[in-house]
């Protein structure tokens, strides 16, 4: 996991990844997730491929587990997203420790648990905001039934 300067800096992109895993289909999710992962990866200044691994791994883990559980959605969202964040962060840290021994990524359980709790705390407000954005993006701004398209010329005389 890339180290941030501030301990209480939540990774809010993971809430977006979780929202995509819960609410959208695979194609639309990947259309949003691919540029997000690329932008985060390029602008972060860490080992290339870290953020795409976190985003795609978290998406696949949440999507798989959410599809297998028979419980209603609101009961397990917060713990599932928090545990998925911890699991993906630990796996990326372990993988970077094996593949890039020079790039030592510090791992601290209490810091990661605090960040997972922060991610879990921001789930409901951000999900509400994402739902509003999705609702307003599906709104039809041009009323096609009021727009009359005429195929003939109005000035032409009919005989």
d(Cα 24, Cα 134) in Å, to the nearest integer? 10
What is residue 43's DSSP assignment? H
Query: Cβ(63)–Cβ(21) under 8 Å?
Result: yes
- The CA distance from 62 to 40, in Å, is 20
User: 55-77 burial, b if ≥16 CB within 10 A, otherwise e?
Assistant: bbbbbebbbeebeeeeeeeeeeb
pLDDT 10s digit of each residue in the chain, 159 long?
555 556 677 789 999 999 999 989 999 999 999 999 999 989 887 788 888 999 999 999 999 998 888 876 667 888 899 999 999 989 988 888 888 777 666 778 888 899 999 999 999 999 999 999 988 887 766 555 555 555 666 666 666
């Amino acid at each position: 996991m890339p180290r941030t300067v501030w301990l209480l800096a939540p990774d809010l992109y993971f809430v977006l990844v979780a929202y995509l895993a819960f609410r959208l289909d695979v194609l639309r999710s990947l259309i949003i997730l691919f540029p997000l992962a690329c932008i985060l990866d390029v602008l972060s200044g860490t080992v290339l491929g870290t953020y795409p691994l976190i985003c795609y791994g978290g998406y696949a883990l949440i999507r798989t587990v959410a599809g297998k559980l028979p419980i209603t959605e609101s009961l397990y969202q917060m713990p599932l997203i928090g545990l998925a964040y911890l699991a993906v962060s630990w796996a990326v840290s372990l993988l970077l420790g094996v593949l890039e021994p020079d790039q030592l990524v510090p791992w601290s359980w209490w810091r990661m648990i605090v960040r997972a709790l922060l991610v879990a705390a921001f789930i409901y407000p951000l999900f509400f905001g994402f739902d509003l954005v999705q609702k307003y993006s599906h709104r039809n701004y041009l009323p096609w039934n009021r727009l009359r398209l005429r195929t003939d010329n109005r000035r032409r005389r009919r005989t």
